[in-house]
Amino acid sequence: MKFVDEVRIRVQAGAGGNGCVSFRREKYVPRGGPDGGDGGRGGDVILMAVSNKHTLLDFRYRHLFRAASGRHGSGQNRHGRGGEDLILEVPVGTVVKDSVGEEILADLTEPGQVWTAAGGGMGGRGNARFVSSTRQVPRFAQDGQPGEEAEVILELKLMADVGLVGFPNAGKSTLIAAVSAARPKIADYPFTTLVPNLGVVAFGDAPPFVMADIPGLIEGAHEGVGLGTRFLRHIERTRVLVHLVDVSELDEDDPLRPLRQIERELAGYSEELPLKVSVVALNKADLVFDEEKLERLVAAYRETGRPTLVISALARRGLPDLLAVLTRILHSAEEEEADGAAPPGAGLNGLNDDDTPPDGSRVA
């Protein structure tokens, strides 16, 4: 299935039906009087968020959507039938923007949430509506009103609990394939992943959570280099960020350079991204054969105050420890949100001072 995360569409609501000019004419009923019915209301164009869609592919090749118009009124006080609403299903996490100023019009973040993109026109009143003591034979009726038209931009921001960020070829696709049923493209060259991938991760008895594999970021991503802004927007809704670092490529003279560069890109895109809870996963540990060097690199990342784990996604090493830490952070965040407290910020990233890491893990 092709992943599409931004489209521009035009919506047109149905027009209202016209009112009817009619007079009752029956045998043995003199002076029957006006009996023209009202026109029906035009249908609305409604956007509805659903959880079983994860792409805007339905809008990729079709850009105009029209709702049905209302029927005209008729004699014998028969009103026209209203036009049927057109309901367009979009993925949860879809943002609706104005096509001119790109003002945010709606943010559909919950399944079943709806937003009316274009309202249908009101039906016209028939001549029976205009009878009065001074106007007993009205020979006119109202026309139906046209439906609203709008051109909007639909922008999808993935709804995920955990987002994987890092440089190209850091092993993000390998990691999400190892811990979930997702099967992204994996190869030994950078920029293998061109679109975000979602995977549902289940660990122990804890509720499953959604992990997003964000395509590799490069320097200048927040300015659009390498389609960076299209990737960065999918991180905005994640609750926890996992900085995936290729430990085999780290320079001992400046081991924190990859982390600083990624954080610089996050901060350049949004001031809120660096405040998210974050975990560091030093990947490809199976390629580092000097244990003392590995310990020094881990110690450097421990000084950042983030939970730091050593893993190998390919060899499946350290993954249970990583999932245990993520599960605990997410559970802690849910409890704080239920209590009305703010979600955990930087610093210990959701781990209390008395929290202890899982057995055998390398957690700062």
CATH number at residue 113: 2.70.210.12
Answer whether residue 357 is part of any domain. Answer: no
- Residues 274, 329, single domain; the answer is yes
- Residues 141, 193, single domain; the answer is no
Q: pLDDT (tens digit, 9 = 90+) per residue, 66-90?
A: 999 999 999 999 999 999 999 999 9
From 89, 123, 156, the end of a domain falls on 156
Domain count, the chain: 2
Answer whether residue 332 is part of any domain. Answer: yes
- Residues 198, 275, single domain; the answer is yes
- Residues 257, 118, single domain; the answer is no
- Residues 327, 213, single domain; the answer is yes
Entry field: residues in the chain: 364
Answer whether residue 361 is part of any domain. Answer: no
Type and span of the H or E element at 296:
helix 291-302
- Residues 51, 186, single domain; the answer is no
- Residues 265, 215, single domain; the answer is yes
Answer whether residue 352 is part of any domain. Answer: no
* DSSP-assigned beta bridge partners for residue 50: 91
- Tell me the CATH number at 301: 3.40.50.300
- Residues 197, 145, single domain; the answer is no
- Residues 55, 187, single domain; the answer is no
Which residues are within 8 A (CB) of 241 and not within 5 positions of it... i.e. 6 or more apart? 162, 163, 165, 235, 273, 276, 277, 278, 279
- Which domain does 200 fall in, by range? 162-338
Tell me the one-letter amino acid at 283.
N
**The model's pTM:** 0.69
From 156, 185, 220, the end of a domain falls on 156
Per-residue confidence of the chain (364 residues) as pLDDT tens digits?
466 778 999 999 999 999 999 998 888 877 788 999 999 999 999 999 998 888 888 898 899 999 999 999 999 999 999 999 999 999 998 999 998 878 999 999 999 999 999 999 999 999 999 999 889 889 999 999 999 999 999 988 877 889 888 888 888 888 988 888 766 555 444 444 456 777 888 888 888 888 888 775 655 444 444 444 566 777 788 889 999 999 988 888 899 998 988 888 888 878 888 888 899 999 999 998 888 999 999 999 999 889 999 999 989 999 999 999 999 999 887 766 656 554 444 433 433 334 434 443 443 3
> Counting runs of H as helices and runs of E as strands, what totals does the chain give?
5, 14
Identify the residue whose tokens are 């009878």: 131
- Residues 114, 183, single domain; the answer is no
From 94, 122, 156, the end of a domain falls on 156
- Residues 73, 181, single domain; the answer is no
Q: Within 13 Å of residue 52, how many CA atoms lie on the same side as its CB? A: 1
Q: pLDDT (tens digit, 9 = 90+) per residue, 274-329?
A: 888 899 999 999 998 888 999 999 999 999 889 999 999 989 999 999 999 999 99
- Residues 152, 166, single domain; the answer is no
CA–centroid distance for 250 within its chain? 34
> Rounded to whole angstroms, how far apart are CA atoms 124 and 33?
19
Answer whether residue 39 is part of any domain. Answer: yes
